[in-house]
Amino acid sequence: MAHFEDLAGFIQRTSARAPAVREILERAGARPEEIRNRTALARLPVTRKTDLIDRQRAAPPFGGFLGVAQEELQRIFMSPGPLYDPHGQGKDYWRWGEALQEAGFRRGDLVLNTFSYHLSPAGFMFDEALRSLGAVVIPAGVGNTELQVRLLADLAITGYVGTPSFLATLLDKAVELGYDPAGWRLQKAFVTAERLPDSLRDRLQGQGIAVFQGYGTADVGCVAYECGVREGLHLSTAVIVEIVDPETGQPALPGEVGEIVVTVLDETYPLLRFGTGDLSLILTEPCRCGRETPRLGGLRGRLGDAVKVKGMFVYLRQIEEVMQRFPQVGRYQVIVSREDHRDHLLLRLEPRRGGGSPAAATGEPAPAEGEGSEEDARLTSGDVSGILATFRDIIRLRPEIEVLPPGSIPEGAKGLEDRRQWNA
Ligand SMILES: [Zn+2]
């Protein structure tokens, strides 16, 4: 495969410029010219999001992974984590063009891009990919639901890019406002950043919208996307994807579920063996569409403590960062659920009995009985609005807050619990 022919030279060049690449090779006792195939690549450690957060914190902004001078960049983003993401040169730096083309986007399309243009890269990722295909883009971003419905009703919009749940929200809102989406020109949607249950896809398709799904990350851009057969996601031609055993970092057997680990031959940001934290498998049989690129067999959940809510990652450590600022809070827990194809975030809080610092439901022991008094044990509305504002600043999502009497959250409950059911 062409990727592996290029890999050793790529690693040689980037290790000369990016200290993190050099350090990873040294630590693995590997020389760049040896990394010529999957077996050799698997000698290098997997770099996970949490490793990248730590590396970036130690050497901001890119943790030693930048392979070009900073003035070569177009933009710098800050994704949840926080993680800094560079925007390198080129018309379609994150390579989503091939995915959108497969979904039927082309010159003549007018596309509503509902990903955020603010701090995170998703908005610009799809904006430039769409424009590279000759489509005209409406940079709608997130929120402003009524205005977005108005755009759909007023303009001959042919395509949608965003999360599938926000598309459902727009269609519901339209009906609520007295519009009839059946009369719109909207005929295709490219969705990513959250799970697409069959029931939601069927509902959108039932409204005459062809729905195509993609998979990628803010760090590495496009990884895989659906063809018209919609059985699995074809790997992007520009990435090396491994499915690895999350415990060992070693390649899983064919057909086995493991973590998606991505190496992009991107001289700007040479992440080697980037562990996405998403679980999938490689389908072994060829696709009925005739394309020969391998396919991911859908996403099978996430590793570790991050969950994706409304297209944004939420980490337990971010929640801890919020709660550390409110010593009046005792136990707390964030519960993610899903109703009517919409993610719902509930922050449950207990006031602290006695002193000390806040504790996630897991980890630290509960304050001993009898410490402090019941009179201390309350949270004011000022506390709650402060917590809400800080939560929105750090996590960029708005939770519903429920204040409970001390002792309500059971010991050993997860600090971040995902209760969503995806098979409905
Ligand atoms: Zn196919």
CATH of the domain at 339: 3.30.300.30
pLDDT, residue 189, reads: 98
| 267 and 67 Cβ atoms separated by less than 8 Å | yes
Distance CA 37, CA 39 (A): 6
The answer to whether residues 319 and 412 belong to one domain is yes
Please provide the distance, in angstroms rounded to a whole number, between the alpha carbons at the two ends of the chain. 40
In a domain, 213, yes or no: yes
Q: State mean pLDDT over 61-74.
A: 98
pLDDT category at 345 given cuts 50, 70, 90 is very high
In a domain, 424, yes or no: no
**Is the confidence at residue 147, as pLDDT, over 70?**
yes
| CA 109 / ligand 1 centre spacing (Å) | 23
pLDDT, residue 364, reads: 42
> pLDDT of 241-272, one tens digit each?
999 988 788 998 877 888 999 999 999 999 99
| CA 16 / ligand 1 centre spacing (Å) | 38
The answer to whether residues 266 and 182 belong to one domain is yes
The answer to whether residues 198 and 344 belong to one domain is no
**Is the confidence at residue 284, as pLDDT, over 90?**
no
| CA 134 / ligand 1 centre spacing (Å) | 24
On the CB side of 158, how many CA atoms lie within 13 Å of its CA? 12
pLDDT, residue 355, reads: 52
Distance of CA 318 to the CA centre of its chain: 15
| CA 235 / ligand 1 centre spacing (Å) | 10
206: helix, strand or coil: helix
Distance CA 336, CA 346 (A): 6
pLDDT, residue 320, reads: 85
The answer to whether residues 237 and 93 belong to one domain is yes
58: helix, strand or coil: helix
Distance CA 372, CA 41 (A): 56
Q: Which residue segment(s) compose the domain that 93 sits in?
A: 75-309
In a domain, 142, yes or no: yes
pLDDT, residue 118, reads: 93
Choosing from 309, 331, 346, the residue where a domain stops is 309
**Is the confidence at residue 357, as pLDDT, over 80?**
no
| CA 201 / ligand 1 centre spacing (Å) | 18
The answer to whether residues 183 and 208 belong to one domain is yes
Distance CA 218, CA 221 (A): 6
pLDDT, residue 395, reads: 85
The answer to whether residues 355 and 299 belong to one domain is no
Provide φ and ψ at 95, rounded to 5°.
65, 30
Selection from 199, 205, 166, 172 nearest residue 311 by Cα: 166
**Is the confidence at residue 76, as pLDDT, over 60?**
yes
| CA 264 / ligand 1 centre spacing (Å) | 22
**Is the confidence at residue 361, as pLDDT, over 90?**
no
Distance CA 300, CA 256 (A): 11
Q: State mean pLDDT over 306-335.
A: 85
Angle ∠(83,84,85) on CA atoms, nearest 5: 115
pLDDT, residue 370, reads: 42
The answer to whether residues 122 and 102 belong to one domain is yes
Q: State mean pLDDT over 7-17.
A: 95
Parallel/antiparallel/unpaired status of strands 188-191 and 159-162: parallel
Return mean pLDDT, the chain: 90
Selection from 132, 62, 124, 75 nearest residue 98 by Cα: 132
> pLDDT of 104-114, one tens digit each?
999 999 999 99
| CA 284 / ligand 1 centre spacing (Å) | 12
The answer to whether residues 162 and 233 belong to one domain is yes
Distance CA 394, CA 321 (A): 8
| CA 297 / ligand 1 centre spacing (Å) | 12
pLDDT, residue 303, reads: 77
Q: From residue 175, give the alpha-carbon distance in Å to each of 162, 211, 381.
A: 20, 20, 36
pLDDT, residue 371, reads: 44
Provide φ and ψ at 128, rounded to 5°.
-75, -30
343: helix, strand or coil: strand
pLDDT category at 354 given cuts 50, 70, 90 is low
| CA 290 / ligand 1 centre spacing (Å) | 6
pLDDT category at 81 given cuts 50, 70, 90 is confident
The answer to whether residues 332 and 295 belong to one domain is no
Q: How many domains does the chain have?
A: 2
Show the tokens assigned to 400.
Answer: 């519903």
| CA 400 / ligand 1 centre spacing (Å) | 41
> pLDDT of 179-218, one tens digit each?
999 999 999 999 999 889 889 999 999 999 999 999 999 9
Q: State mean pLDDT over 227-241.
A: 94
The answer to whether residues 159 and 284 belong to one domain is yes
Choosing from 309, 340, 361, the residue where a domain stops is 309
In a domain, 16, yes or no: no
| 65 and 271 Cβ atoms separated by less than 8 Å | yes
**Is the confidence at residue 305, as pLDDT, over 70?**
no
Higher confidence at residue 174 or residue 195?
174
pLDDT, residue 2, reads: 54
> pLDDT of 93-141, one tens digit each?
999 999 999 999 999 999 999 999 999 999 999 999 999 999 999 999 9
| 95 and 225 Cβ atoms separated by less than 8 Å | no
What angle do helix axes 164-176 and 198-206 make, rounded to 10 degrees?
50
| CA 104 / ligand 1 centre spacing (Å) | 14
Write the CATH number for 96.
3.40.50.12780
> pLDDT of 366-405, one tens digit each?
444 444 444 556 899 999 999 999 999 888 899 999 999 9
Distance CA 262, CA 256 (A): 17
The number of beta carbons lying within 10 Å of the beta carbon of residue 6 is 13
Q: State mean pLDDT over 270-287.
A: 92
**Weakest-pLDDT range from 174-178, 315-319, 357-361:** 357-361
The answer to whether residues 245 and 98 belong to one domain is yes
The length of the chain in residues reads: 424
Percent with pLDDT over 70 in the chain: 93
DSSP code string of 176-194: HTT--GGGS---EEEE-SS
In a domain, 210, yes or no: yes
| CA 97 / ligand 1 centre spacing (Å) | 17
The answer to whether residues 213 and 244 belong to one domain is yes
Choosing from 309, 340, 368, the residue where a domain stops is 309
